[in-house]
Amino acid sequence: MPKTLQLAAVGTVAGLFSGVFGVGGGVVIVPLLALALGYPTRVAAATSLAAIAVIAAAAGALHAIYGNTDPVEAAVVGFPAVLGVVAGTALQQHIPIRTLRLGFALLLIIVAITLVV
């Protein structure tokens, strides 16, 4: 399958899962890029962030039209998180791939548990 079609499939599947289950796209996009498309782990995480920015902007804008968003609380939680993501991406460059994968696997299991309980 051509690369563009594969990426199109990843996007559609990620969207479907987040639409059905309300999970964030990253939980689906990172494993699909890493396992199905063979992206290196860090590249999969990086590329997933770009996709999430697009998805969250679109969905967030739609919610804002409906008046569901609280911009003040978004800023309170969001600005420290921007500092966190700068530190997290820097830290990620020094963490061995196996440890990263183990951490992500743990994250998936936690999401699985929250879905079932």
Contacts to other proteins from residues 39-98, by CB under 8 A: 39-60, 63-64, 66, 68-98
CB of 90 to other proteins, least distance (A): 7
CB of 116 to other proteins, least distance (A): 5
2 binds other proteins (CB under 8 A): no
| DSSP assigned state of 91 | H
Q: What angle do CA 15, 58, 21 make, to 5 degrees?
A: 35
Q: Does residue 116 touch other proteins according to CB under 8 A?
A: yes
Min. distance of Cβ 71 from other proteins in angstroms? 7
Considering the rule CB under 8 A, would residue 102 count as an interface residue with other proteins?
Answer: yes
Query: Under the criterion CB under 8 A, does residue 104 sit at the interface with other proteins?
Result: yes
Which residues contact residue 41 at a Cβ distance below 8 angstroms, ignoring those fewer than 6 apart?
Answer: 34, 97, 100, 101, 104
Question: Within a 10 A sphere around the Cβ of 26, how many other Cβ atoms?
Answer: 19
CB of 1 to other proteins, least distance (A): 14
**Is 48 in a helix, a strand, or coil?**
helix
| Site size for other proteins (CB under 8 A) | 99
Residue type for position 75: A
